[in-house]
Amino acid sequence: MKMNKKLCIGIFAWGDYLMGMGHVYRQLRLFEHVNQRGCDITFYTFRNSTVEKLLRGKIAYQCVHSIYDIDPKRRFTHFVFDVLNVPLEDVKYIRNKTDMIVSFDNNGKSLNRCDVSFNCLYPNSRKNVVSDYEYLILPDECLIYQKKKKLSKIKKILVMQGGTDTYGVLLRLARVLPQYFPHLQFTFITGSLCIYKNELIKIIQAQSNVNVEFDISSLHKFAACHDVAITGGGMGMFEIAAMGIPVIACTQELKELKTMMTAHKKKIIITMGLTSTLTDTQLIKSVQRSVSNIPNLNQLSSRAKEKLNCNGIKKILRRVGILDECTIEDSKSGRRAKNSLYLPKS
């Protein structure tokens, strides 16, 4: 694709209470720099007050009932689907309206109709699929707050299971772990929409070595003071690991289990697997075994920092022809800067 062609980009992603907002956040993070260059970008999503609040003022968006509500006359240079297993009919409809179709975490029947799919969480061996961790969309904060020193002693453990904790995993961990590890300080974080919010508060108030925080404004800054994290199997797991904080992962989401197992095999996290398969005693022993082996935790931290860099956004945008590498003038120094990034101005 010629770089002087005006970019017209469509994005389709959505979120709700059950699935969370990870898909929406990912696309906002990916395209915020492109949007700042004045490119023509429209974010299409289902009507949801939380999603609209996230998008409002950051990117042009349109609420639709389905992909077929998009203006039939609209043409795109790129159309991005950030939906698990994109329906084949949706991709067929968009195929005639765009030069390139990009998808994320797509292992559905539509995969062959996409030009490229970034499946870092759900790997696939097909030729048009990119699964390398270097294409993960990680925020710069992972580097800003990244730990530099090796772990010598564990004092504080961060526990997180997404913003809603749909299956009550966080609630169970709050009931089980603090009382068996009284020498450790636990911090549980979730969102204000957590269905078990009141129960969680009651459990926390009954124990002296635990507290809970809702709707943290800066997760990475907050997480930086913790020694170990117990997370789910989504993007939060990778973000915390990229900071150099050793991660012990568990989930009740079947789709996250494969993601966790792959990361475990690459030795960048420790996984406990599905919580429903563990008794309380097994869960406690698993955590005890993990936190008692500090040399192994330090090895996890080093490997994670090495493999989970924050270059994913640049790599993705280059891969799909939105971003090109060239030499541009550094506005501060006036010198020509190598390996700088160029976006075609509209």
| Tens digits of residue pLDDT in 297-329 | 999 999 999 999 889 999 999 999 887 633 223
Rounded average pLDDT over 35-61: 87
Q: How far apart are CA 336 and CA 326, in angstroms?
A: 10
According to the model, what pLDDT value does residue 36 have? 65
Task: Identify whether residues 294 and 323 lie together within a single domain.
Answer: no
Q: Which tens digit of pLDDT belongs to each residue from 33-42?
A: 677 666 899 9
What burial class does residue 105 get, using C-beta atoms within 10 Å of its C-beta: 0-12 exposed, 13-18 middle, 19+ buried? buried
CATH code assigned at 35: 3.40.50
257 lies in a domain? yes
Between 341 and 281, name the one with better pLDDT.
281
Please give the mean pLDDT across all residues of the chain.
88
1 lies in a domain? no
97 lies in a domain? yes
Task: Identify whether residues 303 and 315 lie together within a single domain.
Answer: no
Task: Kindly state the tokens that stand for 334.
Answer: 């006036």
Task: Identify whether residues 319 and 276 lie together within a single domain.
Answer: no
How many structural domains does the chain have?
2
182 lies in a domain? yes
Task: Identify whether residues 253 and 319 lie together within a single domain.
Answer: no
Task: Identify whether residues 69 and 145 lie together within a single domain.
Answer: no
Residue ranges making up the domain that contains 285: 141-307
**3-class SS of residue 203:** helix
Q: Which tens digit of pLDDT belongs to each residue from 169-209?
A: 999 999 999 999 999 999 999 987 788 889 999 998 899 99
Q: How far apart are CA 278 and CA 81, in angstroms?
A: 36
Task: Identify whether residues 195 and 58 lie together within a single domain.
Answer: no
2 lies in a domain? no
Task: Identify whether residues 179 and 199 lie together within a single domain.
Answer: yes
Indicate the pairing of strand 98-104 with strand 76-82. parallel
Q: Write down the pTM of the prediction.
A: 0.85
Q: Which tens digit of pLDDT belongs to each residue from 249-266?
A: 999 888 889 999 999 999
Between 11 and 122, name the one with better pLDDT.
11
Task: Identify whether residues 218 and 249 lie together within a single domain.
Answer: yes
Task: Identify whether residues 153 and 127 lie together within a single domain.
Answer: no
Q: How far apart are CA 128 and CA 124, in angstroms?
A: 9
Which residue has 């797509």 as its token pair? 106
**3-class SS of residue 151:** coil
Task: Identify whether residues 72 and 184 lie together within a single domain.
Answer: no
Task: Identify whether residues 70 and 175 lie together within a single domain.
Answer: no
According to the model, what pLDDT value does residue 259 have? 92
CATH code assigned at 146: 3.40.50.2000
Task: Identify whether residues 239 and 264 lie together within a single domain.
Answer: yes
Task: Kindly state the tokens that stand for 217.
Answer: 């404004």
Q: Which tens digit of pLDDT belongs to each residue from 128-151?
A: 999 999 999 998 999 999 999 999
